[in-house]
Amino acid sequence: MIPVVDPSADDKYLYISADGILDIEEALIDIDTLPINEDLKVRLNDWLARIEPYSMMPEEDIDMDVIEPLSQEGRALAQEIKNAMPEWEIVYLDEAELIRHVDSLDDRDRFEFVM
């Protein structure tokens, strides 16, 4: 069972990536439990369905012309989630930036963004 979001939790943190929406303990979160509108939930699920296959692909097999717009869309969705949940810390992992900086994974500021 995928954990639900507890709006009263002390650790108000979401990590958004091609692998899904994670909580502070890196457990997957059920998107339907997020306190966001239904339209945003649908768009988030749609985006995850389209970007998730790229999360496991070798970097050399990923077409940047495909992943770049998906990454931009994901960042925009992460910002919308932040706007809907302003008291939460929302961190977005940008897959395109991760690929660009694969040789410097220790510098997470290059591909992880706090909304």
Residue ranges of the domains in the chain?
A: 13-114
- Sheet of 13-17: strand order equals 20-22, 13-17, 89-93, 112-114
- Residue type for 4, please? V
pLDDT at 2 over 50: yes
**Interacting residues of 85 by C-beta distance below 8 A, sequence separation 6+:** 12, 14, 34, 35, 36
pLDDT of residue 103: 67
Mean pLDDT of 64-89: 96
pLDDT digits (tens, 9 = 90+) for 21-49: 998 888 888 898 899 999 999 999 999 99
Distance CA 72, CA 94 (A): 8
Q: Is 4 within 8 Å of 28 (Cβ atoms)?
A: no
Of 51-55, 73-77, 91-95, 102-106, which range is least confident? 102-106
Radius of gyration of the chain, Cα coordinates, nearest whole angstrom: 14
- What pLDDT score was predicted for residue 1? 47
The alpha carbon of 4 is separated from its chain's Cα centroid by a whole number of angstroms, namely 16
The answer on pLDDT for 15 being more than 90 is yes
